[in-house]
Amino acid sequence: MSAPRHLTMIGTGYVGLVSGTCFAELGFKVTCVDVDETKIANLRDNGIIPIYEPGLEEMVKRNVAAGRLHFTTQLSESVPTSDAVFIAVGTPQDEDGSADLQYVKAAARQIAPHLKDYTVIVNKSTVPVGTGKVVEELVRQTNPQANVDVVSNPEFLREGEAVDDFLKPDRVVVGVETPHAAEMMAMLYKPLTDQGVPLHVTNRASSELIKYAANAFLATKITFINELIELCDKVGADVLSVSRGMGMDGRIAPRFLQPGPGYGGSCFPKDTNALAKTARDYGMRLNLVEETIATNQRIKESMADRIVDAMGGNVQGKTVAVLGLAFKANTDDMRDASSLTILPKLQEMGAKVVAYDPAAMPRAKQLMPNLTYAEGIEQTLQGADAAVILTEWADFRTIDLGKLKQTLTTPVLVDLRNLFTAEQAHEAGLQYFPLGRPAE
Ligand code: NAD
């Protein structure tokens, strides 16, 4: 079998654009395809990338200039000459909690007529167990002559660190049903495995489940420490110290053990729901996962109550200055961000919410048109009755608390990311409300 050279990446979102660009960086010729004509025109004609992702823009430009990275809306331009066609389209949550597979299925049908020689179709989208089989059936129905293998290759990158995560992953997981497909995937990832990245080859169903199991486990880990916040408040413990002490145990590890206002983002909420739904479809209940989902919702809602309590129990007619809207720092992604639960709840209770985020405001304005949006940190704080830190952006870590106090009408700081210490806040003359830490 000859080594793969040309790849098509279908879906030019967070995963598709990052993966396509990184494969180009590794030396492959890559064509990124999307149905969104504006997105493709911006990328192809102006080098404008549609998302905020550190390091990506330069890498896109470099690989376009080197002739390795191309953008189009036409599958016919690249599928016939591709050795591998990746599906990296969205799998949003459907009304019943399951993953909505309409985009994956559409991509499968659209690829089929253009297939020529042996091609691997690689599912990079997060999809429930059994979807690889469905994709294969759709391709064969549409093009019975197609010589294909359908492979599962879930993506584990984190937004904000996506380029590094793709090029230096902890592992690459591939789920295959034939030795031919296994060989092809090994060649695709050879530039990474040559540098010591482990390749975990398994069957398709296991690979599909690994992605959901990993995300549900991490969501549970985050929720575990978040649930301890309130207990720490009650018993006088410091949740950061508890987290550090737990994380030093090699069996536990420190990552994903940072307390915060509930998990959000494009993956954990929908993937935990989809995993729970898959189990229900098979007549069983994943109790831990179901409980994680419910507890996370309770935690997000309790954050609004925390803010109200810090403001004296009543926010009617008061102004809350909110720093950060994205579900975490270094991304403009607003999907299932905690801010979407907390801020409308504050508004319902009569508060005026003025908000600022360094990257997520264009998306936030579409989702929460009734907030007041400020241009920067100082404008957000001006005349407000309390400041709330909701996202851990680096810009917020360096805020001068003395100035913050002077800009506010009432000196209340609710720090839902524990960016500051009680000592720093008190020195600045602020009433300080951290998460799960002694406020004195
Ligand atoms: P996204 O919404 O950012 O991008 C999806 C893109 O696919 C969009 O640009 C859309 O226009 C395009 N698209 C839809 N149908 C198409 C079609 N038929 N042909 C061509 N393009 C089409 O989604 P994302 O965040 O990149 O997620 C993609 C998948 O990867 C999801 O299954 C997600 O769960 C998974 N994933 C996401 C992340 C993450 O951090 N965002 C991490 C790991 C895995």
> Which pLDDT belongs to residue 377?
97
CA of 410 to the centre of ligand 1 (A): 43
How far apart are the CA of 381 and the centre of ligand 1, in A? 36
Tell me whether residue 267 is one of the annotated catalytic residues: yes
Is the CB of 91 within 6 Å of ligand 1?
A: yes
Atom of ligand 1 nearest to the CA of 18: 26
351-370 tens-digit pLDDT: 999 999 999 999 999 999 99
With a 6 Å cutoff on the Cβ, whether 106 touches ligand 1 is yes
Which of 207, 155, 157, 160 has the alpha carbon at shortest distance from 182? 207
pLDDT at 319: 98
Does the Cβ of 34 fall within 6 Å of ligand 1? yes
Asked if residue 1 has pLDDT above 80, the reply is no
Domain covering 6-202 assigned CATH 3.40.50.720 in the classification:
yes
Mean pLDDT of 278-282: 96
How far is 219 from 223, CA to CA, in rounded Å? 6
Query: CB of 253 within 8 A of CB of 224?
Result: no
pLDDT for position 108: 98
pLDDT digits (tens, 9 = 90+) for 46-89: 889 999 999 999 999 999 999 999 999 999 999 999 999 999 99
Q: Whose CA is nearest to atom 30 of ligand 1?
A: 125
Minimum CA distance residue for ligand 1 atom 4: 13
CA distance 332 to 284: 37
Q: What is the pLDDT of residue 324?
A: 98
Best of 12, 266, 271 for a ligand 1 pocket test (most atoms within 8 Å of beta carbon): 266
Supply the pTM of this predicted model. Answer: 0.95
Chain mean pLDDT for the chain = 97
User: Looking at ligand 1, which residue's alpha carbon is closest to its atom 28?
Assistant: 90
3-state secondary structure of 270: helix
Q: Is 16 in the pocket of ligand 1 (CB under 6 A)?
A: yes
pLDDT of residue 60: 97
Q: Ligand 1: distance of its center to the CA of 309 in Å? A: 39
- Per-residue pLDDT of 368-425, as tens digits, reads 999 999 999 999 999 999 999 999 999 999 999 999 999 999 999 999 999 999 999 9
CATH 3.40.50.720 assigned to domain 230-433? The reply is yes
pLDDT tens by residue, 91-129: 999 999 999 999 999 999 999 999 999 999 999 999 999
| pLDDT tier, 2 (very low <50, low <70, confident <90, very high otherwise) | confident
Q: Residue 427 — very low, low, confident or very high, per pLDDT cuts 50/70/90?
A: very high
Pull the structure tokens for residue 143: 């093009």
* pLDDT per position as a tens digit, 325-352: 999 999 999 999 999 999 999 999 999 9
Mutation to probe ligand 1, out of 89, 138, 207, 210 (largest number of atoms < 8 A from CB): 89
Same fold, 6-202 and 230-433: yes
pLDDT class for 169, splitting at 50, 70, 90? very high
Cβ density class 349-362: b for 16+ within 10 Å, e for less: bebbbbbbbbbbbe
Ligand 1 nearest-atom number relative to CA 89: 7
Domain chopping of the chain, boundaries: 6-202, 230-433
Q: Which atom of ligand 1 is nearest to the CA of 33?
A: 20
CB distance 267 to ligand 1 below 6 Å: yes
Please give the span between the terminal C-alpha atoms of the chain, in angstroms, as a whole number. Answer: 67
What is the radius of gyration, based on Cα positions, of the chain?
24
Checking if the pLDDT of 133 tops 80, the result is: yes
